[in-house]
Chain A
Amino acid sequence: MSLAMGLPLAASAVLWLAGAPLGRRLPPETAVRLLTIVALVTALATGFVLAVAAFLAVAALPPVAALGHWSAAALRAGGAVPITVGVVAGLAVAVLLAAALWRATRSALDLASAAWTCRRLGPGAGGLVVVEDDHPDAYALPGLGGRVVVSTAMMRVLPADERRVLLAHEQAHLAHRHYLYLQLAGLAAAANPLLRPLSAAVQAGVERWADEAAATEVGDRHLVARALARAGLAQATALRTSSSPASALRGAHDGVAARARALLTDPPRPRRALSGALLLLIVATAGAAALTAHDTEHRFERAQAVYAITAN
């Protein structure tokens, strides 16, 4: 195993630790864009080097080498991959690839049924659909330009200026295609579980991004915080008093209170050094995968040349 092959794995470990703090420190828009890219690149690079390790270990077995017309000894010369490491890497790749495919399929189905629902809901008013419901609810649905769905109960609890915040927030989700970032980061995390904190940071970042977009739209960060607070409390109260299964109780990643708190402090500042470091990590990880590909190809060429000489 070369140093280049280890780098994507090391990057995954670093990102597992740094995912949450990165999400908190970077400005939301930067965090969502950069962390999604870093997650995808790392997931692809990790899968690739694991597959190469497995392949190298198997290819260096004498019967396989004979079958492939390359010299097993020459293949091992540039740093052998122990067969146990190769088998573990191979199994890991198989399991993770299956998980990623499963995840991609379900994402595609979810997005397709979201698009189908958008069509059933009709165009509404500028993409806004109101449903008659006593439970306060509001969400953005991707597909066909997207729809914002709100319940009458949610509209009743908010004054006009806070309704405008809610609409601007949901519209920002659709305008900036946040569902794509969410699905891609989720896919990367399925293909490499070490990237889960990164995926969670993207989920939180998307909400913060929409909050900041709404704040820009209405020109008042405090108003956005108040709208979040009122909507959050109304929903919490309704959940407590209703006997319905608490399906709206999703993971704690949403953090309404944290979002409101962030809006009460200064607007996010660009973090150029941190963004630069992340870009560097992306380039290094992609470079390591490319180098591994190049080295492996070279190694096989040499092993085939050695085989040709010794066979004649």
Chain B
Amino acid sequence: MSGTSGRAAGALEREVLASLAAAGRPLTAGEVLADLGGALAYTTVMTTLSRLHAKGVLGRQTAGRAYAYALATPLDALPASLTANRMRRLLDAQDDRASVLASFVAHLDEDDERLLADLIDGRTRPADGERR
């Protein structure tokens, strides 16, 4: 495995793909690096991008002297989207059964929403006080 800086190669591939999905437009290796930040090396990001391109997960076009990468065209992603959405409907609207899907987040009530909004704004602090 050619993973570096504490991340496994698979984890870095996922983060790079997530970064491009979030951007919603083609990004160069430099832009991906700026988004991910941290202790990553430029060449590591570069390698990961070209590997994902070789696998057909990403498309690329020239942008100046560099390549800009984006998710493979929406047309390619369509069957995947349909499959995933059908999966959701099938497996998630289940009565009392444990879903085989593990969602990141689910139901919220209004009090929860207020607490979470405060948390994002930094108004909620650990109970024992984080003000150091």
Q: Which residues of A contact B (CB under 8 A)?
A: 103, 106-107, 110-111, 113-114, 117, 120-133, 137-142, 148-150, 152, 154-156, 158, 160-161, 163-164, 166-171, 173, 178-179, 182-183, 185-186, 199, 202-203, 206-207, 210, 222, 225-226, 228-233, 235-236, 245, 247-252, 254-257, 260-261, 264-266
Contact = CB atoms under 8 A, between A and B. Distances in A.
B91 A110 contact: yes
B24 interface: yes
B105 interface: yes
Contacts of B78: 132
A167 B14 contact: yes
A229 B124 CA distance: 11
Contacts of B93: 245, 247
A250 B109 CA distance: 12
B108 A120 contact: no
Where chain B touches its partner, the secondary structure class is: helix
Nearest to A252: B107
B125 to A, nearest CB: 7
B127 A265 contact: yes
A178 B117 contact: no
Nearest to B93: A247
B106 A128 contact: no
B14 A250 contact: no
A107 B94 CA distance: 11
Contact of A247 (B9, B12, B89, B126): B89
Contact of B103 (A123, A202, A254): A254
A113 B102 contact: no
Given A110-B100, A139-B104, A155-B18, A229 B10 contact: no
Given A222-B126, A260-B116, A142 B105 contact: no
Contacts of B126: 222, 264-265
Interface in B18-43: 18-19, 21-22, 24, 35-37
25 contacts: A113-B91, A117-B86, A117-B87, A120-B79, A121-B80, A121-B83, A125-B13, A125-B55, A126-B12, A128-B13, A131-B85, A133-B85, A139-B101, A140-B102, A152-B21, A156-B24, A160-B19, A163-B15, A168-B11, A171-B11, A252-B109, A254-B103, A254-B107, A260-B119, A265-B128
Contact of A163 (B18, B71, B83, B108): B18
Contacts of A142: 100
Contacts of B10: 126-127
B63 interface: no
Contacts, number: 222
A210 B79 CA distance: 29
The 7 closest A-B pairs by CB, nearest first: A126-B10, A257-B112, A229-B116, A254-B106, A126-B13, A155-B22, A125-B17
A233 B103 contact: no
A171 B12 CA distance: 12
Contact of B80 (A129, A225, A236, A247): A129
A163 B22 contact: yes
B81 A256 contact: no
A168 B14 CA distance: 10
A20 to B, nearest CB: 16
Interface of B: 9-19, 21-22, 24, 35-37, 52, 55, 57, 71, 74, 77-81, 83-93, 96-109, 111-113, 115-117, 119-120, 124-128, 130
Contacts of B80: 120-122, 129, 131
Given A113-B87, A229-B117, A232-B105, A131 B112 contact: no
A127 B14 contact: yes
Contact of B107 (A103, A152, A210, A249): A249
Contacts of A235: 105-106, 108
Contact of B116 (A137, A256, A266): A256
A258 to B, nearest CB: 8
A230 B118 CA distance: 10
A95 B96 CA distance: 18
